[in-house]
Structure 1
Amino acid sequence: MARTGTGRAGGAGGSGGSGVRAARRPEVRLPELEPYDGGELEPDGDYDGLDFRDADFAGQDGGGARFMDCALTACALDETRLYRARILDSVLTAPRGVGTDLAESTLRDVELTDARLGGVQLHGAALERVLIRGGKIDCLNLRRARLKDVVFEGCVLVEPDFGGAELTRVEFVDCALRAADLSAATLRDVDLRGAAPLEIARGIDRLSGAVISTGQLLDLAPVLAAEAGIRVE
């Protein structure tokens, strides 16, 4: 069962003294788990209290499945279909894969650690009290997703797409954010001060509702000037 923390204040990427509300982090406490039997995932399957270890789910279909109080460790998720899946009170450690389909899924009270993923589809998904720590995720698709109390910590995000997404109490802590797309996104209490580098490819005008550092402001000045139509010579 997951217990919810109150978030971290202060420090790089923290929210102390900034007027921005800190994200509430998940604190997952798993029960004693049973080893998974090694079978293939099933659409609309129900997985409760299971330990998935070194499982290869490449190309399998678990659309609509529910994972509750589960641990997934070193699992392969290449082209795995988890459309509209629900992942609740669970821990995912060192998942790897390309093209994982988690569109319109629900992640609540989830810890994702040391991921090596590319082209993950999370468009239209709902993430609440989620900690993504370490690892690297390329081309993360979060278009029109809803993120509430989400922390990206010590990870590398390359070309993440937040187009049209709603971000509420989201923190980037010691995190590299490269070529991010914020087009049409809505930000509320988003702390970007711990993002280094902070690179906004599109949607620089959507930063209202976010807090950045003075150094980041200077780095973004050319993009902000271009957006405002200011010519700098």
Structure 2
Amino acid sequence: MAKSKSVEREARRPEINLPELRTYEGQGLEPDGDYDGLRFEDLDLGGEDGAGATFLDCGIYRCALGETALGRARMLDSVLEGVSGVGTRMENCELRDVELRDARLGGTQMHGARLNRVLVRGGKIDFLNLRQAKLTDVTFEGCVLVEPDFGGARLERVTFRDCVLRRAELHQAQLKDVDLRGVTELDIATGLDRLAGAVISPDQLMELAPAFAAQIGVRVEG
């Protein structure tokens, strides 16, 4: 009888074809605003209130987003490149067909967010809060994630390539078709038992072996 083989389903990448963008000439952001086909470039949007806004076919380049309120915002078929800031509030937002490139963010609040066909490429994100979020077809590529919190989140078809994943929180997370083999530094702070549904490399297994042993109460002595 032939042995059954597990099949990892790869994350689908976003397909974005931005139209010719018009330069945004407004003043800041507006709650529940409607932004379509616009280029936001080299703007300081820190502290602005764009809660509930919709960004469709937009390019956001090198903008400051420190403490910007984007809760419940919808970003669709859009690119964010070189954005930076601490304390960006994106709770319960929706990102669909989005690329986030070379971001420098800290303490971004995305609990309850919905990410579908999202590519996070390059950059560094510290203390990313994705508690209770839903990630489907998400790729992290060439980026550094420091203490990301996936507590209670659902990850399906999520791929990590050439990434650093440092002190990740997986408490009560649900993983399905999650590929961690491309993580160059894999450090799980909590939730080792939630790795069911993920695939790791043999080398990663050896690195995690002491933590797995401690998880089940096994003492390893020479």
Normalising by structure 2, report the TM-score.
0.97
Of 134, 153, 162, 1:174 maps to 162
Q: Does 1:148 align with 2:148?
A: no
Secondary structure, counterpart of 1:27 in structure 2: coil
Matches within 5 A, 1:1-40: 19-40=7-28
Question: What is the CA–CA distance in structure 2 between the aligned matches of 1:39 and 1:52, rounded to whole Å?
Answer: 11
Q: Does 1:64 align with 2:52?
A: yes
Specify whether residues 121 and 187 from structure 1 end up closer, same or farther in structure 2 by C-alpha distance, changes over 3 A only. Answer: same
**Deviation digits for residues 147-204 of structure 1, max 9, x if unmatched?**
0000000000000000000000000000000000000000000000000100000000
Computed over aligned residues only, the root mean square deviation of the Cα atoms, in angstroms, reads 0.8
**Deviation digits for residues 63-120 of structure 1, max 9, x if unmatched?**
0000000000000000000000000000000000000000000000000000000000
Matches within 5 A, 1:77-92: 77-92=65-80
Question: What is the CA–CA distance in structure 2 between the aligned matches of 1:216 and 1:172, rounded to whole Å?
Answer: 13
Secondary structure, counterpart of 2:181 in structure 1: coil
Q: Does 1:218 align with 2:206?
A: yes
Secondary structure, counterpart of 1:164 in structure 2: coil
Question: What is the CA–CA distance in structure 2 between the aligned matches of 1:44 and 1:26, rounded to whole Å?
Answer: 25
Question: What is the CA–CA distance in structure 2 between the aligned matches of 1:65 and 1:27, rounded to whole Å?
Answer: 22
Matches within 5 A, 1:159-198: 159-198=147-186
Query: Counterpart amino acid of 2:213?
Result: A
Identity %: 65
Is the Cα contact below 8 Å between 1:68 and 1:87 reproduced in 2? yes
Secondary structure, counterpart of 1:26 in structure 2: coil
Deviation for aligned residue 1:38? 3.7
Query: Counterpart amino acid of 1:33?
Result: L
Match of 1:158 in 2: 146
**Deviation digits for residues 191-233 of structure 1, max 9, x if unmatched?**
0000010000000000000000000000000100000111111
Is the Cα contact below 8 Å between 1:38 and 1:55 reproduced in 2? no
Question: What is the CA–CA distance in structure 1 between the aligned matches of 2:199 and 2:84, rounded to whole Å?
Answer: 32
Match of 2:217 in 1: 229
Deviation for aligned residue 1:18? 6.0
Gap runs ≥5 in structure 2:
none
Secondary structure, counterpart of 1:167 in structure 2: strand
Deviation for aligned residue 1:19? 1.4
Is the Cα contact below 8 Å between 1:179 and 1:200 reproduced in 2? yes
Secondary structure, counterpart of 1:60 in structure 2: coil
Q: Does 1:50 align with 2:41?
A: no
For these two proteins, the number of residue pairs brought into alignment is 217
Secondary structure, counterpart of 2:15 in structure 1: strand
4+ residue segments displaced more than 6 Å: none
Match of 1:13 in 2: none
Question: What is the CA–CA distance in structure 1 between the aligned matches of 2:189 and 2:8, rounded to whole Å?
Answer: 24
Deviation for aligned residue 1:40? 1.3
